[in-house]
Amino acid sequence: MVEEVQKHSVHTLVFRSLKRTHDMFVADNAKPVSLDEKSHKIKMAVKLRVEYSSVLHMPVIKENTRDKGSHGAIDSYGHKQYLQNSGDDNEYLITGTHPYPPGPGVALTADTKIQRMPSESAAQSLAVALPPSQSKMEASRTAAGVGDIYRHAGIPERSQPPGLTMAMMEAGGNKNSALMAKKAPTMPKPQWHPPWKLYRVISGHLGWVRCIAVEPGNQWFVTGSADRTIKIWDLASGKLKLSLTGHISTVRGVIVSGRSPYLFSCGEDKQVKCWDLEYNKVIRHYHGHLSAVYGLDLHPTIDVLVTCSRDSTARIWDVRTKASVHTLSGHTNAVATVKCQAAEPQIITGSHDTTIRLWDLVAGKTRVTLTNHKKSVRAVVLHPRQYTFASGSPDNIKQWKFPDGNFIQNLSGHNAIINTLAVNSDGVLVSGADNGTMHLWDWRTGYNFQRVHAAVQPGSLDSESGIFSCAFDQSESRLLTAEADKTIKVYREDDAAVWKHISNNPYLCISLRTDIMKAFFLFPVNFLCCNCPIIGWN
């Protein structure tokens, strides 16, 4: 027989639910336990003995100096106290676990049980004996020592607010203390840089454009692509001038020599080629790498070529004899980038093993290994004027100082895999990432003053928006990027922003006024100055 379930009214059920909720929240389990005075006193006494036993014998100020008869008084924690009572001097207590001094075998007399401080006259005589430049500094230091030891003995360190500091000033022989506000640390002001805007998109490659380089004469530039071709473009018009074929896999690096009419290229086919641009044909091969060659660079003063590879090595080649001078081994993963400079260290490599190595070119050995990065280093760039360089990784962009690779600062915020870096003489650092974003930074302060994410070529997928390489032209007025949508994009500074910045800065206007007026009378063209109040032209 099934037992019938007792039915209750809605009112009863609601009441029971409310009661259950009330019982659940009526007890506040998070409320702290009430403080027991006796246990707290025992706890503090134990803590005082355990943590502060080494300084309990030091002097503390006596708050009430009226009671002068309590020699050997006992404090609240059972420690014996000793009182000085000599003439007009202030009275001080010596506290500790045993009479002062604590050394064994030392008799406790009226002189030894009191720690006497240096007198004012002794401090003044010490200041007079010092050189003039040092005496003032030492006098203020002595004033702080004599006065502050009496005044602040036994007081916790942070008795003043954190924004204030106690400064001792000396004026006319009188020592005065004044509270002076600390100057808050300020971020250095970044230099103003005009924003860069896209003004040309160059198409022609049939695959990802993986590398780019501008020739020293600034007339043309060269690109290498995943379509296995090398193309030379006119820099002014963006028109294709020449296509070079010869690689059988993706071209990963190109560079133009400034000392001879040669173009060097490398690719994933393990080949390193030297092209003679007078005949547009390959004249030398550099054999030796065991895997894909990811990058290359030319030494600025000697005929040396340096390449880096997926085989975890970098190789130094004699350009003319094709001989391998050194094999730089030490990295434990693919070497993604290599740079050369005339000064020491002459070779810098960045690797997927998260390290950067600075190499001795003569010995062919590592000078310094930098291990600050936590992820693979795919890009390194040297500043054209300063003795510094930067490295790019998915965790951070880091700046370093030569010759020992001293860390300068982090540039955080480009949260992507950084494939390329470029910097110009004005201190504009450009970082390009695999998600198509490009960040522009002020080199000195690390301030990110612009972020660019250009649209991909029509017909391409949104995922094909990576930036593989970027470079400034020789005039540093144009920025070229090689991208995954098979295009080369050209950026330049926004002229309107430059004029607006000048018009908003009277000092710049005054300095440019003479030159602009000369140009106006020599070449009568229309000048735009954004209603400049200084120059007065609209």
Alpha-carbon distance 507 to 437, whole Å? 35
Q: Supply the CATH number for residue 450's domain.
A: 2.130.10.10
Within-domain flag for 82: no
Within-domain flag for 191: no
**Cα-flanking dihedrals φ and ψ of residue 59, to 5°?**
-70, 140
**Cα-flanking dihedrals φ and ψ of residue 396, to 5°?**
-165, 160
Residue 279, exposed/middle/buried by CB under 10 A (0-12, 13-18, 19+)? exposed
Alpha-carbon distance 45 to 42, whole Å? 5
Strand partners, 319: none
Indicate the pTM of the whole model: 0.63
Residue type, 84: Q
Q: At what angle do helices 506-522 and 495-503 cross, to 10 degrees?
A: 120
Alpha-carbon distance 385 to 369, whole Å? 23
Alpha-carbon distance 80 to 454, whole Å? 78
How confident is the model at residue 231, as a pLDDT?
97
Within-domain flag for 238: yes
In which domain, by residue range, is 311 found? 196-504
How confident is the model at residue 264, as a pLDDT?
97
How confident is the model at residue 21, as a pLDDT?
73
Within-domain flag for 124: no
Alpha-carbon distance 81 to 66, whole Å? 16
How confident is the model at residue 140, as a pLDDT?
46
Other CB atoms within 10 A of residue 190 CB:
16
List the chain pLDDT tens, one digit each, 538 residues.
556 677 778 778 877 777 777 666 666 656 666 788 888 899 888 888 888 777 777 766 554 544 444 444 444 444 444 444 444 444 444 444 444 454 555 555 555 555 445 555 554 554 455 455 444 444 444 444 444 444 444 444 444 444 444 444 444 444 444 455 666 667 788 999 999 999 999 999 999 999 999 999 999 999 999 999 999 999 999 999 999 999 999 999 999 999 999 999 999 999 999 999 999 999 999 999 999 999 999 999 999 999 999 999 999 999 999 999 999 999 999 999 999 999 999 999 999 999 999 999 999 999 999 999 999 999 999 999 999 999 999 999 999 999 999 999 999 999 999 999 999 999 999 999 999 999 999 999 999 999 999 888 888 777 788 999 999 999 999 999 999 999 999 999 998 887 777 777 755 554 444 444 444 444 444 444 444 444 444 3
How confident is the model at residue 26, as a pLDDT?
64
Alpha-carbon distance 290 to 288, whole Å? 6
Alpha-carbon distance 493 to 327, whole Å? 42
Alpha-carbon distance 531 to 529, whole Å? 6
Within-domain flag for 142: no
Within-domain flag for 434: yes
SS3 30: coil
Q: Contact at 8 Å (CB) between 510 and 462?
A: no
SS3 90: coil
Token representation of residue 165: 């500091």
Within-domain flag for 126: no
Within-domain flag for 24: no
Q: Where do the DSSP E strands lie in 278-417?
A: 281-285, 293-298, 304-309, 313-318, 324-329, 335-340, 347-351, 356-360, 365-370, 379-382, 388-392, 397-401, 406-411
Q: What is the per-residue pLDDT across 15-74, written as a single tens digit (0 to 9) for each? A: 777 777 766 666 665 666 678 888 889 988 888 888 877 777 776 655 454 444 444 444
Domain count, the chain: 1
